[in-house]
Amino acid sequence: MDVDIKSLHPLEIKLLLYAGKRQLSAELLEKELNFIPGQANQAFNWLASKGLIRESGRIKKTYYELTELGKRYSAEGTPGERIYRFIEKNGPATMPELCTSLSMENRDAGSAFGEWSKEGVLRMGPDKKVEKIAETDISPLLGGIRSVLDKAAGAFEFRLEQSGLSSEETVSADSISKIRGAASSPFKLLEREEVSYVLTDAGHAAAEELKKSGSSGDEIGQLTQE
């Protein structure tokens, strides 16, 4: 199919110039070309209809996306981390004292204490005060959850792909993720089918023409998203 490169939209131009022999996906274009959500799929549809790209594969991917609660946990600490630090600094405290001092919901404090109690780190001592059992290196206990929180906080769109995590990190992420009602969880679990594309011979030819013409696709910044 012969295509007049002068008729190409800036989105199409940027994609063709970038593509080379790469496997293209919406996520890749959003990350590398700063396409906003929706633009990549629009460009794929246009170029496929012109015979300049073809589908090369489909794969199901699982992502963990940091929620607003997760961002807060990453920056301020999880309830468990905050309770442990408070006890370490200030000594034994009752549950009401912990909730008041840390501005924490009773259920969050109770759940965090329960986890520490099972791990043999904290216990309920005299006068119903939470106290440390012994000097304990808690880093292994918190390592998985802290690792995925920190990774997600620094990731593109606050999102981690499951395949990029270790088995321990995956277990940790799963333990604090939800598919529905994710606002009350640090992570939202996303399952998506990612479609990838490659240039056809006609697409490579169009890309070469664009390079020779000096086109860049930079006009995209002047356009309203369609």
What is the 3 state secondary structure string of 155-218? CHHHEEEHHHCCHHHHHHHHHCEECCCHHHCCEEEEEEEEEEEEECHHHHHHHHHHHHHCCCCH
- How far is residue 146's CA from residue 9's CA, in Å, rounded to a whole number? 44
Judge whether residue 17 has pLDDT over 70: yes
Q: Examine the pLDDT at 103 and tell me if it is beyond 80.
A: yes
Q: Given pLDDT bands bounded at 50, 70 and 90, which one contains residue 138? A: low
Phi-psi region of 35 (alpha: psi -120 to 50; beta: other; left: phi over 0): beta
Chain segment 24-68, per-residue pLDDT in tens: 999 899 999 999 989 999 999 999 999 999 999 999 999 999 999
Per-residue pLDDT band at 144 (split at 50, 70, 90): confident
Which two structure tokens, joined as six digits, stand for 169? Answer: 């990190």
Q: Is 77 left (phi over 0), alpha (psi -120 to 50) or beta?
A: left
Listed by start position, the domains of the chain span 5-52+200-222, 66-191
Residue 123 has pLDDT above 90, yes or no: yes
Name every residue whose Cβ is closer than 8 Å to that of residue 219 and which is 6 or more positions away in sequence.
Answer: 10
Q: Which fold has domain 66-191?
A: Arc Repressor Mutant, subunit A (1.10.10)
According to DSSP, the residues that pair with 130 across neighbouring strands are 93, 124
How deeply is 61 buried, as exposed, middle or buried, from its count of CB atoms within 10 A (0-12, 13-18, 19+)? middle
Residue 90 has pLDDT above 60, yes or no: yes
Distance CA 62, CA 163 (A): 8
Helices (H) and strands (E) in the chain, counts: 10, 7
Q: What is the dihedral of CA 101, 103, 108, 114, to 10 degrees?
A: 0
CA atoms within a 13 Å half-sphere pointing along the CA-CB vector of 188: 15
